[in-house]
Structure 1
Amino acid sequence: MPYRHPDSYRHFAVEKQIYRRLGTHPNAHSAIRLYFKNGGTASVQERIKWSRDLAVVIQYLHDKNVRQGDIGGRNILLDANRNTLLYDFAGSSIDDTRAEVVAQDGFGHPDHEESKYSTIRAEIHALGSSIFELITSTCPHQEEHEKEWGMAEVLLRRGIYPDVTDVPLGSIIAKCWKGEYSSAQEVADAIKEQN
């Protein structure tokens, strides 16, 4: 283990406990963000499939009383068969403990308390941002964030989100951001209905 700080041991112990509980799932094992950054491509239909698969695996986590806490492209892998895999549960929440990680700028819920406790609402908000990233190959407010660190979070707290009018799954992304879904399964079902 590269980190020998007591917090690291605790994070890895939680991660091990979560992996034992989750067992196997086809979507729970190169980060997609790096794939896109390095020029990787995907069809719209493939991106939509990845979005639905992500929603399904997040529901699977929630059914097991696990909240990942940091859903986003840096924690979504793409395997050799071009399936998305969610990983990195160090610092995540299990059995309603408080997660020790929070979603990155552009993915965190604008209500700090929601993000702080990795609530279902916060996870669905991050799911919306992750779908945005899967569809557009960019993070919400990435350009603003690159100019000034933390700006994506500032904009979301002000209720300013990227325009998703012409983005595939845009209405679903917007509903995730607005808190109009009560579960990740509702998101998966909406994606399935729309396509």
Structure 2
Amino acid sequence: MVTHDSEEDTQPIIREAMVYEILGAHPRIAEWLSRGRSDFVDIKYYPRGDLASYSQRNTITAELQSKWFQQILEAVVASHSHGVIHSDLALRQFFVDDALNVRLGDFNSSQCPGHPALGYEKASHCLPRDYDLPNTEASDVFALGSTLYELVAGHAPYSELAGPRSDDPDVIKAQIRRQHVVDREIESRYRNQVFPDVSGLFGGGIILGCWRGEFQNAKEALDRYVDGL
């Protein structure tokens, strides 16, 4: 449970509660335990953690990867069917439940009918656009492509631009200082339709289709995936 005092701080909490109320109960959405309250959000605890961390700690079978690929698509389709644009899709936003199914959460930046988004994605997942305009299904679908890429590649798109992972505090500080340079480079590549190589990756055609805008919505991407099974 998270509580805040100032109006600025409570806005994301109120937004998240609003979105969970809109979405209702769904097997691909994190379970909201504080239904009926708008001043705080209490989500069911998922001891396996988020999908990004879980995938780093465990060996993922091809069967499980395929299931999660589809379930990530299903989660976004479910959100969009209610007019909810997540606005910060990434692998870390999906929880792994006890049955090893994934559930989408962290809607505190989301856009919903009548309420503009409170944020947008990190550069590796962000469709270059006019950020003063509302987020759209297209921006979510682009981020969906990057999320699926994370799942099958084991890292975020263009993560190599930040340099190798390190526990050295000085290296970490240097990487943080130059993150804005990395972000600009990623945005430039995306604007020029230059994407990470997906040849040989599971679901690569779906991922590239999300990045290239070949799908009008997430449902089209899900249908393409299911048809290919």
1:164 aligns with 2:165: no
Structure 2 unaligned segments of length 5 or more: list them: 31-48, 164-174
Q: Which runs of 4+ in 1 moved over 4 A?
A: none
Larger RCO of the pair (alpha carbons < 8 Å, separation 6+): 1
Q: Name the amino acid aligned to 2:207.
A: I
Greater Cα radius of gyration, structure 1 or 2: 2
**Distance in 1, Cα, partners of 2:135 & 2:24:** 22
**Distance in 2, Cα, partners of 1:155 & 1:145:** 15
**Distance in 1, Cα, partners of 2:220 & 2:127:** 18
The aligned counterpart of 1:174 is 208
The offset of 1:118, in angstroms, is 2.0
**Distance in 2, Cα, partners of 1:75 & 1:61:** 13
**1:19-168 counterparts in 2 under 5 A?**
19-29=20-30, 30-37=49-56, 39-113=57-131, 117-146=134-163, 148-149=178-179, 150=183, 151-168=185-202
**Distance in 2, Cα, partners of 1:142 & 1:5:** 35
Q: What is the RMSD computed on CA atoms of the aligned residues?
A: 1.8
**Distance in 1, Cα, partners of 2:22 & 2:76:** 14
The offset of 1:52, in angstroms, is 1.3
**Distance in 2, Cα, partners of 1:133 & 1:96:** 31
**Distance in 2, Cα, partners of 1:71 & 1:173:** 14
**Distance in 2, Cα, partners of 1:66 & 1:102:** 13
Measured against aligned partners, the alpha-carbon deviations of 1:92-146 in whole angstroms (never above 9, x if no partner) come to: 1110532012111210102244x96221110100111111111122111111134
**Distance in 2, Cα, partners of 1:62 & 1:88:** 15
Secondary structure at the residue paired with 1:106? helix
Secondary structure at the residue paired with 2:106? coil
Q: Percent identity?
A: 24
**Distance in 1, Cα, partners of 2:107 & 2:8:** 14
TM-score by length of 2: 0.78
Over 3 Å counting, the alpha-carbon distance change for 1:141 and 1:116 in structure 2 is farther
Structure 1 unaligned segments of length 5 or more: list them: none
